[in-house]
Structure 1
Amino acid sequence: MRLRSWKARSKRALVAASLMTTVVAGTAGWAVGNEQQPLTGPPPGTGSWRADHALGMRLPDPATASPARIAAFFDSLTPTQRRELLVRHPSVVGNLDGAPVALRYEANSLSLRAGRARERARSTDPDLTPQDHERARSLVARYDELLAPGRQILAFDPRGRGQVAEVFGDVTKAQHVSVVVPGSDIDLSNFDRAKDEYGTPAGMARSLHTTAGDRTAVIAWVGYTTPVGLGPDAATGRLAEAGAPRLARFTQGLTASGAPRPAVFCHSYGSVVCGLAAPRLSASDLVVFGSPGMRADSVSDLHTSARVWAAKDDSDWIDRVPSVELFGLGHGEDPTSSAFGARRIPAERAQGHTGYLAPGTDSLRTFARIADGDHSPVDNRPTGARS
């Protein structure tokens, strides 16, 4: 009997995996040649940081020191010592989870200015190609935008496709903090694009902050290498596995620097990252929307103390992707299914895969309640139930 049951489950999984491949290929085609190499390890400039003994002490290793250790280290420094490290190692300080938030803003401003100067020089370098010149001019414009007055850049790493985190509100004074984790096709160049605004982490974060109010700060976090297109990277957990420790460390750094435990909002492939990071996340709430799965069969499999919420609107194309994980392909149970056990978030007014934080939607209104610390369930029915 057990053998027949196992064979039946395996057969259903194989059929579902085949169907998932067909759906993805039929929707947009496999993104051939777009396999991404994940950015891992400590911040750029770590080698120089490790070799710096100018303060008469060994600096904590960014690769091994916990965010709590980093926070304690900076607490032990004088303002002058902090500034010395900021000026000598802006790329490390600006990306060091646990370092003071205001210091990271200033460090990233220095890094962006240095990057802009470097790319300006490259844009007219006669030894470079016209394509190199065009790329350099594009980066100069990008850095100009990020250096605009009022922008708060909590992380900036130009390596690869580039990573960034931007804050909306005042993290140091907010009673509540939220983090938005994006899905595929997001990087330094487009995390705040005007087109499809509410499909970008910056647009989502800005909308959530506006709706939740000033008691809540919201961070758009692009701290992992996202998949490009609907190809093998999007269908497997490889990039999510590389990104999960980075997300966990980022949330730990927030709490180590004095912020409250954040609510983490995870869109699309970002929910795969959040699912894998869940046991180590310093989070009050874990909210997934437009999710292909979290690499877990149920909330209990996430091994988290955070409240888990899920939303999916009926017009979201992600609903056509079968809920299966087999031989590394697919991401498991639908978080909005009754079997998964997450708290249901209404999303009847959301449209498509990127409309969950559009103004006027029931999903945004509920997200804002969660972000603002309202922990009461919005609906006591099991997820997936219909009235």
Structure 2
Amino acid sequence: MATGTGTGTGSGTGTGAGTGTARTTGGAWAAGSGSGRLLRTLLAALVAAAVAVPISAAASPNVPAPAPATFAEDAAPQSRYAANRANIAEAVRRADGADRPGRAARLRTMEASGTAQFLVFDGRGRGRVVEVFGELESADRVAVLVPGSDTTLDTYERFRAGAVSLQERLRTEHPRSAVVAWLGYDTPGTVSSTVLTAGRADEAAAELGPFLDRLRGLAGPGARLSLLCHSYGSVVCARTVTGPAVSDMALFGSPGTGAGSVRELATGARVWAGRGSGDWIGNVPHVRLGGIGFGTDPVDPAFGARAFTAGAVGHSDYLKPGTASLDSLAAIVLGTTAPDSEADHG
């Protein structure tokens, strides 16, 4: 979905915690009315783009739900899945009891198969979910999807659909693959006062980094992890410290990251960037003033990312079956990208 962000001031370096010098694509801003006009232009463009994107199923912050299940550090995935299925069932009962049929219906959809694989489930407030598609314990290729704004328990199915599409595409070439849908943070609203800053991304990065370390121990021996980061999720990934298990990071539909180049990111992974020709976010000004905006466009050669083909997709369509973007992202996860796609701009 459309980009957004949280409260607070983002990092000028994109390497973590909200400190550093502000950057823009054109160098330091001059003081005075010129910067004010540019800032107003940025605000207007982002808000206009945001309101053009449909927003469905507003979050339900007051729905009662049980506390998340807790596990020992070395608990096997199967035991986590079983405990979280039971937790979802209890969350359904509580939502019904509180006369919240919308949330109850969405939770029933999540548990419908009886075999859903949730590493994490927290039904309180906007909700947090980490779901696995495929056999994680034997997988040697694992893609972690990080969503953008307005992704909550109440809109989870659209995020889940992308994860399912990617997993189906991966397993046609590589059965030992898995996809992890990581809704592990409170995503910002598209139309909100948080839409231009990186506070939520900094909070999310502090959760995502340790999760990736734990995930490596749950996946197959020597598993190769890839981060696929959509929209505001690309701001999250850019601020996440990744270990050697993360081989690739793909940024798509990105508003920018707050960093001026790949060299400023806290990762040793190969960094990819792509944007569909139908994605409205390409019209958002890639500027940064103080803690507002996200600076250099990741698809700009100056950023230094490797380009991947995204085709004509719109902002929410990168993982739809049959698209060039889905093929490209699957190839990044599997390590089968064509040589001409791997040109490093920086």
Instruction: Give the TM-score range, shorter chain.
Output: 0.7 to 0.9
1:379 alignment partner AA:
S
Confirm or deny: 8 A CA contact 1:181 1:201 kept in the other structure: no
Match for residue 208 of structure 1 among 154, 166, 170 = 166
* Runs of 4+ that moved beyond 4 A: 12-15, 28-31, 279-282, 375-378, 380-384
- Tell me the alpha carbon deviations over residues 99-141 of structure 1, each in whole angstroms, 9 at most, x when there is no partner: 3211110110121122223333x24xxxxxxxxx2x2x33332
State the 1:17 CA deviation.
Answer: 2.8
Partner of 2:28: 9
Confirm or deny: 8 A CA contact 2:140 2:224 kept in the other structure: no
Partner of 1:111: 87
Q: Distance in 2 between matches of 1:273 and 1:281?
A: 18
Alignment of 1:82-121 (within 5 A): 91-93=69-71, 99-120=75-96
Query: Is residue 2:111 matched to residue 1:147?
Result: yes
TM-score (norm. length: structure 2): 0.79
State the 1:377 CA deviation.
Answer: 4.3
**Cα distance change, pair 144–236 in 1 and its aligned pair in 2 (3 A):** same
State the 1:373 CA deviation.
Answer: 3.0
Match for residue 42 of structure 2 among 13, 20, 32 = 20
Aligned-residue CA RMSD (Å):
2.8
Look up the SS of the partner of 1:277 in the other structure.
Answer: coil
State the 1:240 CA deviation.
Answer: 0.9
Partner of 2:336: 374
Partner of 1:322: 285
Partner of 1:53: none
**Cα distance change, pair 361–142 in 1 and its aligned pair in 2 (3 A):** closer
Q: Distance in 2 between matches of 1:318 and 1:269?
A: 11
Look up the SS of the partner of 1:92 in the other structure.
Answer: coil
Partner of 2:325: 363
State the 1:380 CA deviation.
Answer: 4.5
1:353 alignment partner AA:
H
Q: Distance in 2 between matches of 1:174 and 1:224?
A: 25
**Cα distance change, pair 279–18 in 1 and its aligned pair in 2 (3 A):** farther
2:115 alignment partner AA:
G
Return the structure number with greater strand share: 2
Look up the SS of the partner of 1:232 in the other structure.
Answer: coil
Return the structure number with greater helix share: 1
Confirm or deny: 8 A CA contact 1:312 1:336 kept in the other structure: yes
Match for residue 332 of structure 1 among 279, 295, 308 = 295
Q: Distance in 2 between matches of 1:189 and 1:237?
A: 23
2:333 alignment partner AA:
A
2:85 alignment partner AA:
S
Match for residue 176 of structure 1 among 141, 153, 169 = 141
Q: Distance in 2 between matches of 1:278 and 1:332?
A: 20
Confirm or deny: 8 A CA contact 2:320 2:326 kept in the other structure: yes
Q: Distance in 2 between matches of 1:290 and 1:272?
A: 11
Specify the structure having the higher radius of gyration (Cα): 1
- Tell me the alpha carbon deviations over residues 300-339 of structure 1, each in whole angstroms, 9 at most, x when there is no partner: 1003111100001222111111112222111121111110
**Structure 1, unaligned runs of 5 or more:** 1-6, 46-89, 124-132, 193-199
Confirm or deny: 8 A CA contact 1:254 1:261 kept in the other structure: no
Higher relative contact order (CA 8 A, sep 6+): 2
State the 1:366 CA deviation.
Answer: 1.3
Alignment of 1:224-239 (within 5 A): 224-239=185-200
1:146 alignment partner AA:
M
1:241 alignment partner AA:
D
1:207 alignment partner AA:
S
Q: Distance in 2 between matches of 1:375 and 1:243?
A: 29
Confirm or deny: 8 A CA contact 1:24 1:30 kept in the other structure: no
Match for residue 211 of structure 2 among 250, 254, 268 = 250
Confirm or deny: 8 A CA contact 2:258 2:288 kept in the other structure: yes
Confirm or deny: 8 A CA contact 2:244 2:268 kept in the other structure: no
